[in-house]
């Protein structure tokens, strides 16, 4: 496994040198820029995320500038990205960062809303140059297929130091991301042109989890409600039902979820509006 890991590392970095993608945030060590693209790109294709990133970083070049804005403004700019909870967590994080700064909470970035192990390590690697592996779905997919294993936890625990040895962690992390996004993709993997193919086990796991359809889903309904509220400012539940054209029970479920997530509030007479702060 050690010898094969060294070969994977060598072949992957060679491929990356010739095929790495170019984005402005890859040429910076500004933690705010790194944090912003990481939050925006969650569950979003990188090229689409990059388009939104350019809009956000222009309006909010610092966490302080975002913290002085409003949740409603952030949600308007976020429209089209989906998963509005991410926008709320981004806004909440900007307030923490405006007060304490990245250096004030380094390296404990997991205290920021919505930041897990991957995002924490991405900031540590890309902004601070720390020798850590940012384990995302791309890295996991490549490791699973290449070594023919069902889970990456033990592998990462045993061999992450070998993958990170004598290199900039930024390079290996971005190499896995780019390779998993363009060659070793989740579906229709390009094995025919893969430089790792001759040593790869080609172990394709059959996922038992069906992909939830967006059309007609609660997530789609929640998005419709947020977009309508951004346009109307406030609206009664009854009027909302008429304009959305969904069953009352589904509307109530979606509204309750949005309320629990802190995205909207219900006033007297069942008037709902987006929380501004």
Q: Which residues are catalytic?
A: 38
Collapsing DSSP to helix, strand or coil, 3 comes out as: helix
Distance CA 48, CA 71 (A): 22
The CA distance from 40 to 81, in Å, is 8
Hey, which residues does 265 pair with through a beta bridge?
273
9 neighbors 139 (Cβ within 8 angstroms)? no
**Dihedral of the CA atoms 257, 260, 263, 264 (nearest 10)?**
90
Two tokens at 171?
Answer: 């390079």
Q: Are 94 and 85 in contact (CB under 8 A)?
A: no
Q: Which of 89, 94, 75, 52 is nearest to 233 (CA)?
A: 75
> Could you give the CA distance from residue 62 to residue 240 in angstroms, rounded to a whole number?
36
Q: How many CA atoms lie within 13 Å of 29's alpha carbon, on the beta-carbon side?
A: 8
Bridge partner list, 207: none
Q: How far apart are the first and last CA of the chain?
A: 52
């Amino acid at each position: 496994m050690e010898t094969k890991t060294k070969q994977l590392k060598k072949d992957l970095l060679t491929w990356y040198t010739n095929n790495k993608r170019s984005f402005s945030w890859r040429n910076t060590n500004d933690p705010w820029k790194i944090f912003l693209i990481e939050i925006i790109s969650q569950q979003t294709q990188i090229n689409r995320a990059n388009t939104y990133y350019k809009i956000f970083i222009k309006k909010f070049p610092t966490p302080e500038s975002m913290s002085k804005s409003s949740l409603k403004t952030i949600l308007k700019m976020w429209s089209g990205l989906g998963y509005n909870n991410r926008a709320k967590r981004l806004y909440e994080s900007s307030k923490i960062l405006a007060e304490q700064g990245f250096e004030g909470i380094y390296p404990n970035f997991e205290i920021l809303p919505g930041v897990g192990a991957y995002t924490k390590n991405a900031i540590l690697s890309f902004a601070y140059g720390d020798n850590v592996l940012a384990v995302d779905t791309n890295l996991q997919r490549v490791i699973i297929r290449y070594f023919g294993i069902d889970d990456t936890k033990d592998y990462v625990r045993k061999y992450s130091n070998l993958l990170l040895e004598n290199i900039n962690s930024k390079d290996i992390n971005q190499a896995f991301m780019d390779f998993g996004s363009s060659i070793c993709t989740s579906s229709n993997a390009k094995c025919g042109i893969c430089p790792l193919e001759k040593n790869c086990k080609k172990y394709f796991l059959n996922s038992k989890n069906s992909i939830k359809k967006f059309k007609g889903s609660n997530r789609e309904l929640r998005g419709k409600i947020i977009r309508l509220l951004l346009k109307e400012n406030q609206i009664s539940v009854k009027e909302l039902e008429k304009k959305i054209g969904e069953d009352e029970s589904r509307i109530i479920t979606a509204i309750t979820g949005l309320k629990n997530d802190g995205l909207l509030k219900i006033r007297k007479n069942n008037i709902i509006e987006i929380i501004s702060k």
